[in-house]
Structure 1
Amino acid sequence: MKKFNILGAALLLLAGCATLEQTNLDWIAIGPDFPATKAKNVQILGSKSEITRPYGNLGLLRIKNLKPERDVLKMGVEKGRRFAASKGADAILIGQYNSAEDGASDPRVTLIIYAIKYVDDLSEEDEKAIEDFKVLGILNERSDS
């Protein structure tokens, strides 16, 4: 009986992960990628007023077509947190769009996540990432002329 409970829990977990894997994820880079941070250290913020340090926006992540269910949305936030950590973020600022607000018959949620990098305590590696991004931007501008 114990094996069936463990197996059932594992299947539910996989089903939840599969739900998120089928969603559409968009990343719009605004700043450079930094060395990855640990996801557990990435702060989750619900309001811009919670940002109390100087920061830069690394990019915008959209996780689309989520069911408006608490567990699915929590998994989406954690997926966003891991993704932002892979880009070197220190925090994520979360918003959402719910299609139910527009009268959709099968409402879906899009999580809108800003990846934030605090800039008041940058390492040499972080400063190099910023400089490289700046140089690449200049080169791209010149190649478009």
Structure 2
Amino acid sequence: MKKSLFLGALAAVLCGCATLDNHVNMDWIPIGPDFPANKTQKVEVVSGRDQITRPYGNLGLLRIKNVDPDRDSLRRGIERGKKFVASKGADAMFLGQYNSAEDGASVPKVTLIIYAIKYVDNLTPQDQKAIEDFEVLGILNERTNS
């Protein structure tokens, strides 16, 4: 029993080291409905509108704030964003950033700006229902928390 508790605590510590720093925070601004989750590895990362070649809708805006500007931290931030937008059913994420160094910050930090994109040229009946439900909730000015 003690051995399994020790291994569980060790795993939690190791997982904590592999994530972004605790001072990093995320906020999600929904614009469209949540769709059934997508697999993280299927989410495309695009950095220019010209890279989006299919009709799409924007599901929302994700901001990951206070990311250190080093390569590894940025990569972890992008992966965290990718996992989050996949949970909302996104097919792609349009990636941008704001770097506080541009405004002369003494300790520069990066805010990753991610638009969650859903391609609309091949919607499943389940996807179509999510859109219809969202439209009804919008008319009623209600949101569900999921």
Normalising by structure 2, we get a TM-score of: 0.85
Q: Gapped runs of 5+ residues in structure 2?
A: 1-11
2:19 maps to a residue whose letter is C
Equivalent residue for 1:7? none
1:15 aligns with 2:13: no
Question: Deviations for 1:78-115, whole angstroms, at most 9, x for unmatched residues?
Answer: 00000000000000000000000011000000000000
Would the alpha carbon gap of residues 45 and 18 (structure 1) be closer, same or farther in structure 2, given more than 3 Å must change?
closer
Equivalent residue for 2:7? none
Equivalent residue for 2:120? 119
Q: Secondary structure at the match of 2:54?
A: coil
Question: Are the counterparts in 1 of residues 91 and 119 from structure 2 also a CA contact under 8 Å?
Answer: yes
Matched pairs, number:
131
Q: How many percent of aligned residue pairs carry the same amino acid?
A: 64
**Alpha-carbon offset, residue 15 of structure 1:** 2.2
1:59 aligns with 2:56: no
Question: Are the counterparts in 2 of residues 16 and 72 from structure 1 also a CA contact under 8 Å?
Answer: no
1:56 maps to a residue whose letter is G
Equivalent residue for 1:3? none
Question: Are the counterparts in 2 of residues 93 and 115 from structure 1 also a CA contact under 8 Å?
Answer: yes
**More displaced, 21-30 or 75-84?**
21-30
Which 4+ stretches in 1 moved above 4 angstroms?
10-13
CA distance in 1, matches of 2:39, 2:17: 25
Q: Secondary structure at the match of 1:106?
A: coil
Question: Deviations for 1:2-56, whole angstroms, at most 9, x for unmatched residues?
Answer: xxxxxxxx9776424151x431101000000000000000000011110000000
Equivalent residue for 1:133? 134
CA distance in 1, matches of 2:98, 2:62: 13
1:87 maps to a residue whose letter is K
1:45 aligns with 2:50: no
Structure with more helix by fraction: 1
CA distance in 1, matches of 2:116, 2:20: 24
Normalising by structure 1, we get a TM-score of: 0.86
1:17 maps to a residue whose letter is T
**More displaced, 10-19 or 119-128?**
10-19
